[in-house]
Amino acid sequence: MRAILESFAAAGADSLGYAARWKAEHGRPVIGSFPMHFPLELAHAAGALPIIIQEAEDPITDGEGAVFSFYCGFNRSVADQALKGRFKVLDGIMFGDHCVQLLGTADVIRWNDPDMPIIFEQPVSSLDMAWAFAETRQVYAHLKQEIEELLGVVITDDALRASISLFNRNRQLIRRLYALRIEGRAGLTAREMQHVVKSSMVMDRAEHTALLEALLAEIEASPPPAPQGLPVYLSGHLCQAPKLELLDAVEQTGMVVVGDDLYHGYRYISTDVPEDEEPLAALAHWYIGRNANVPCPTRADGDADWDDFLIRDIRRTGAKGLIVLVAKFCEPHMYYFPEIMEACDREGILMLKLETEHDSMPMEAFKTRLETFVEVARRRLAATPPAAHVQVERSDAEQQYQ
Ligand code: SF4
């Protein structure tokens, strides 16, 4: 189990290094993708290794000044990596504009390396429109054509179906891990869960799936771990993975993460692609259906509210508090946050918001706030009957944690 988790951690920490080794070994192309809305199955079916471009750990140096300083850490890190030449291993990048900041970052990539093929597509943002499905299918058909032209291959329906099936299997196995955590039968830390999901964004999916199967078999054969702490739910952080030391701090202060809607978490693996319909139509259904499962603030859908989803999922997972991780300057998240705050207020759910940064985070201050959050949550639990644990009135002292 340790060896599998370490290989996941290594691939996630150095995704471009992993891609370079894979490319040398297999002699096939690597396609980078901006996060969130591209079906990587299309690049996989073309014989490439698709990887989600990740925020790097190193400080932003060359890229400082390349984009506005009020861009989120993900964008500034991607611009920095471009200027440091880190994307040379990629044979192309799939790029969309789910957030206006990405447009500036894409320009930096283009300016720095004019030879880098950029496949630009705009997935539909208004998902509840009558034309959303047909338009999405058309966007993905065009994306397929562009990948075919870039790589000089034809993506057959059979190849696409096989990729969809493999990616579904991978997602299902990770969802099984999530279910085991809620049941208290998997003692994986939040750090380890991020290793699992992040590596699934970048590793050869067949290799990753085989390792996942072995990991699950070991976990299911092991005795359940002892109860670990106050169950909490993590929400937020869209394109970039939360810093591992922050996840550690949550657990070191007496909490256990039982659910999340992080992109480097449940959001990424929430939804399968239907396997019983024409592949491009299936991908379009996946794209629209994901938002019903885990609503995204970069999409507009009158039928799916992020705050409603959160309340439901906090109750489903048995979490006793919500920790919202907001990447500094993430506009889509900031627009939506007041709704989440109001919903927690209305439902009596204790919530703590932490704003994160790329280069420096006040970890000691975060730990103090986390410790106080746990203390407040424990007092509330002790003071209320079990059936009302998430429906209690807030005291004045608790207001600061909302
Ligand atoms: S959605 Fe948020 S995290 Fe993603 S690129 Fe935009 S600002 Fe950054």
d(CA 151, CA 176): 35
% of the chain surpassing 90 pLDDT? 82
Atom 2, ligand 1: residue with shortest CA distance = 330
Atom 4, ligand 1: residue with shortest CA distance = 239
Complete domains list, the chain, with CATH: 230-401 (3.40.50.11900)
Say yes or no: CB of residue 101 within 6 Å of ligand 1. Answer: yes
% of the chain surpassing 70 pLDDT? 95
**Confidence at 226, pLDDT banded by 50, 70, 90:** confident
Mean pLDDT score, 199-206: 98
Residues 153-180: pLDDT tens digits? 999 999 999 999 999 999 999 999 999 9
What is the CA(329)–ligand 1 centre distance, in A?
Answer: 8
Q: Which residues contact 103 (CB under 8 A, 6 or more apart)?
A: 97
What is the CA(315)–ligand 1 centre distance, in A?
Answer: 27
- Is a pLDDT exceeding 90 seen at residue 103? no
What is the CA(240)–ligand 1 centre distance, in A?
Answer: 8
Say yes or no: CB of residue 99 within 6 Å of ligand 1. Answer: yes
Say yes or no: CB of residue 240 within 6 Å of ligand 1. Answer: yes
Say yes or no: CB of residue 356 within 6 Å of ligand 1. Answer: no
Atom 3, ligand 1: residue with shortest CA distance = 239
Query: How many CA atoms within 13 Å lie on the side-chain side of 341?
Result: 15
Q: Residue 365: how many CB atoms within 10 A of its CB?
A: 10
Q: Where are the alpha helices (DSSP H) in 201-278?
A: 205-221, 244-252, 266-269
Closest CA to 2 of 211, 233, 281: 211
